[in-house]
Structure 1
Amino acid sequence: MGLVLLALNLRAAITGIPPVLATLQSALRLTGAQAGVLTTLPVLCLGVFAPVAPVLARRIGTEAVLAVALALILAGVLVRTLPTPAGLFAGTLLAGAGIALGNVLMPAVIKRDFPDRIGLMTGLAMTLMAATGALAAGLAVPLTTATGRRTALTVWAAPALAAATTWTLLAARRTHSRPPATTPLTPVPAGPRTSVLRSPLAWAVSALLGIVSLCFYVLVAWTPQIMSDEGYPTAEAGAMTSVMLTIGIPFGLAVPVTAARLADQRPLVVMVIALKAAGLTGILLAPEHAWAWTGLLGIGIGAGFPLAMTLLSLRSPDPVTAAGLSAMAQTGGYLLAGCGPLAIGLLHTLTGSWDTPLLLLIACTVPELLVGLVAGRPGFVGAR
């Protein structure tokens, strides 16, 4: 129950804002620059606050940190309903910090509590994250129209409250049970930070997650505009993005389960990157068949992120390493991903075309493949 409730709260607070951004701009009189910062801030928070998670977990326990994380998400959802720009930005910052802590510790929890079901539980978490993210994006506009902006934003406080309560109870139970000294996420000889930072495998997994996240957030941000500029009606362009995200939901479950059953995940890496490269190339060369290409991209990005997240657990010999690797990978990955949409937008402005940005995204699949082949090879971080 704790894992399910945690996963339900790791996307909705982020994806529910972009669809109503125009409404927020009008109601709070935000400038274009402020709106751009608002869309980038959550992703940057995921990278900035990621390194804090394993440090706090070693000091106060994983359950306690996750209870705090979910309390931050709850506070952020409520604060950003205040009728001021400061409240909106402060709430987004709080929610982003909470989501960052939850993102990092989720692979460690799965490694600790479900060592024989890593694929299944990772897949379940990824599916729930994708589904609630898509649901929040899809309901944002109808709820705002029917009930008003503040009510629409507040609705996601309910699952956050349920999750925060659950993890508070789990933290209390862990404290009262007086676990032995080998409790996961307590210090061990040659601590995880040293072994992780010195491991080429850890850097490969981190780079893979970074490039996967970069492509995901760029496509979510710019696919509607790309398709609109290709001549598709605005509603159809938005529907393509929605379908692209929806197609990926079942792969969020299937890919982690499959990856955990394989000794070598490199075939999955090749398949995912090939689909992504084919979809991007198709949009560049034959945009008249955009529905087909966005379908391929939906499979590619829908499978790519869950695969990278599964590798955080599969390449870790223990929960301590999983937490350290997760923090390392998500710090660099989300900071890179946060800069991606801005960089692609600037490149489009400078060139006046989407050809160069698409070529750049296609080029990114080459280093993605190289690091993916290293990350997918059997082995553990820290092992010789």
Structure 2
Amino acid sequence: MTKQLHRRNTVLMIFTIFALSINMRPAITSIGPMLDTIREQLSLSNAQVSLLTAIPVICMGVFATLAPFLNRKYGLYRTMLTMILLVGIVTALRGFIPGFPVLIGTAFLIGIAIAVMGPLLSAMIKQNFPDRAASIIGVYSFGMGVGSATSAGLTAVFFEATGSYLFALSIWSVLALIGLVAWLFAMRAQITVQQLPPVVVKNQREKMKSPWKSRKAWLFLLFFGLQSSAFFSIITWLAPIAMAAGMTLLQAGTLLSIMTTIQIFLNILLPQLMQQFPARKFWLLFMLLAGMLSLGLFWTGNHSLMWIGAVLMGIPLGGLFPVALLLPLDETETAEEAGAWTAMMQTGGFIMGGLLPLLIALVYDWTANHTYTFSIMVGLYVLMVVLTFLIGDKKE
């Protein structure tokens, strides 16, 4: 009976991680299909409407350090409960109060909530599944992929059915309800994330070499930032690019959905393949070349080639993020050191990931030409290729 109870609690915890992780992207990825609609209905510039995806991503970098502080002060239960409620309430708010200020305000609050939830979920996985961390991180990545794919593909469907972009954006608050119910049930098992006292953490940091002084850590930060920029740029701009090429809103949404569906499975598959065949440089170059080929196909404006491009783009979108997360783990000796490197990488990387897509919007406002959009995106991939050679293969 005890073994059955333990098994049931484990399954519940894994489902809860999935239920919470599906809420980590829809408030951002649902904006892409609605980008042109929001811009036209609210008379905004491309730069203004792009803030709706840029602000949450920047917040994911800036406010990530709040997670351990809130966990120490209020505990895991109340902190996660507050964050998932925040995501649900402010996402729902988009459907009731129209206007650009509301969209910006909700984007900011959602960004803070995701910034806190992410590190706490990672800590839960590390503490409760020490021998299966890679597999459970796969569930976490899979959940984010499901949220991305579902919102990218169905937002346009909801808009076509209702004629309201407010409803199409706010409907994703339903996912927060799923996460909330799962969290309330899971907390019956008294899940906690134990943290060392601040004094002990400070003493450990003083003994540890700062990643900010490491050339390799800076390379990881740049790589994480570039892959984040590439991900959020393509998620935000593919639908407007497809519509500019003559696709309908539903076709553009389906294009996004195909791309993110491929991404879901590769979130799990590619890291496993890299574990079996550990040639990091080869796999990174394979993913990056697939991304550049995909951009070339999108650039043609030919609808048939763009569908092929959507399938190919799922390769870098699915593989680069989990591989980037593994880079600090491969290069560090202790959990504390790995945590410090990861914190540095994600803080700087997510700020880059929010700013560079905004640059695309500014350039498009000035030029009204997606040739520059593609040039910037290709530039991101070329820089990642250069970084791949500088980073090299896994440390033995």
What TM-score results when the alignment is normalised by the length of structure 1? 0.80
Q: How far apart, in 2, do the equivalents of 1:372 and 1:113 lie?
A: 33
Matched, 1:49 2:50: no
Picking from 268, 290, 294, the partner of 2:310 is: 294
Shift of the alpha carbon at 1:157? Answer: 3.1
Q: How far apart, in 2, do the equivalents of 1:110 and 1:297 lie?
A: 29
Structure 2 equivalent of residue 76 of structure 1: 90
Picking from 256, 262, 266, the partner of 1:241 is: 256
Shift of the alpha carbon at 1:39? Answer: 3.5
Structure 1 equivalent of residue 136 of structure 2: 121
Shift of the alpha carbon at 1:275? Answer: 1.0
Give CA-to-partner distance per residue, 1:210-240, whole Å, 9 cap, x none.
1111111111222233333344455434432
Indicate the larger mover: 35-44 or 297-306. 35-44
Shift of the alpha carbon at 1:78? Answer: 4.3
Give CA-to-partner distance per residue, 1:66-124, whole Å, 9 cap, x none.
44433432343344444254554433322221111222344444344334334322222
Give CA-to-partner distance per residue, 1:45-71, whole Å, 9 cap, x none.
222212333454566666665444334
Picking from 18, 22, 25, the partner of 1:11 is: 25
Structure 2 equivalent of residue 160 of structure 1: 179
Q: How far apart, in 1, do the equivalents of 2:199 and 2:274 lie?
A: 25
Q: 1:68 to 1:173 in 2, by over 3 A?
A: same
Q: How far apart, in 1, do the equivalents of 2:255 and 2:366 lie?
A: 26
SS in 2 for 1:127: helix
Matched, 1:255 2:300: no
Matched, 1:354 2:370: yes
Q: How far apart, in 1, do the equivalents of 2:368 and 2:34 lie?
A: 27
Q: Residue 63 of structure 1 contacts residue 167 of structure 1 at CA under 8 Å; is this kept in 2?
A: no
Q: How far apart, in 2, do the equivalents of 1:15 and 1:264 lie?
A: 32
Structure 2 equivalent of residue 307 of structure 1: 323
Structure 2 equivalent of residue 37 of structure 1: 51
Q: 1:58 to 1:210 in 2, by over 3 A?
A: farther
Matched, 1:132 2:150: no
Q: 1:113 to 1:205 in 2, by over 3 A?
A: farther
SS in 2 for 1:191: helix
Q: Residue 241 of structure 2 contacts residue 370 of structure 2 at CA under 8 Å; is this kept in 1?
A: yes
Q: Residue 119 of structure 1 contacts residue 260 of structure 1 at CA under 8 Å; is this kept in 2?
A: no
Matched, 1:331 2:347: yes
Shift of the alpha carbon at 1:256? Answer: 2.4
Structure 2 residue identity aligned to 1:122: I
Q: How far apart, in 1, do the equivalents of 2:391 and 2:68 lie?
A: 22
Matched, 1:213 2:231: no
Indicate the larger mover: 268-277 or 346-355. 346-355
Give CA-to-partner distance per residue, 1:254-273, whole Å, 9 cap, x none.
12223344555222212111
Q: Residue 51 of structure 2 contacts residue 104 of structure 2 at CA under 8 Å; is this kept in 1?
A: no
Q: 1:11 to 1:364 in 2, by over 3 A?
A: closer
Shift of the alpha carbon at 1:139? Answer: 3.3
Matched, 1:228 2:243: yes
What do you get for the CA RMSD once the two structures are aligned? 3.7
Structure 2 equivalent of residue 174 of structure 1: 192
Indicate the larger mover: 184-193 or 50-59. 184-193
Shift of the alpha carbon at 1:21? Answer: 5.9
Picking from 259, 284, 287, the partner of 1:269 is: 284
Q: Residue 220 of structure 2 contacts residue 327 of structure 2 at CA under 8 Å; is this kept in 1?
A: yes
Structure 2 equivalent of residue 203 of structure 1: 218
Q: Which runs of 5+ in 1 are unaligned?
A: none
- Identity across the alignment (%): 26
Q: 1:373 to 1:182 in 2, by over 3 A?
A: farther
Shift of the alpha carbon at 1:310? Answer: 3.4
Q: Residue 260 of structure 1 contacts residue 314 of structure 1 at CA under 8 Å; is this kept in 2?
A: no
Q: Residue 16 of structure 1 contacts residue 137 of structure 1 at CA under 8 Å; is this kept in 2?
A: yes
Indicate the larger mover: 293-302 or 161-170. 161-170
Q: Residue 209 of structure 1 contacts residue 329 of structure 1 at CA under 8 Å; is this kept in 2?
A: yes
SS in 2 for 1:5: helix
What TM-score results when the alignment is normalised by the length of structure 2? 0.78
Indicate the larger mover: 248-257 or 69-78. 69-78
Q: Residue 208 of structure 1 contacts residue 371 of structure 1 at CA under 8 Å; is this kept in 2?
A: yes
SS in 2 for 1:243: helix
Q: How far apart, in 2, do the equivalents of 1:271 and 1:159 lie?
A: 37
Q: Which runs of 5+ in 2 are unaligned?
A: 1-12
Structure 2 residue identity aligned to 1:221: T
Q: 1:275 to 1:345 in 2, by over 3 A?
A: same
Q: Residue 284 of structure 1 contacts residue 358 of structure 1 at CA under 8 Å; is this kept in 2?
A: yes
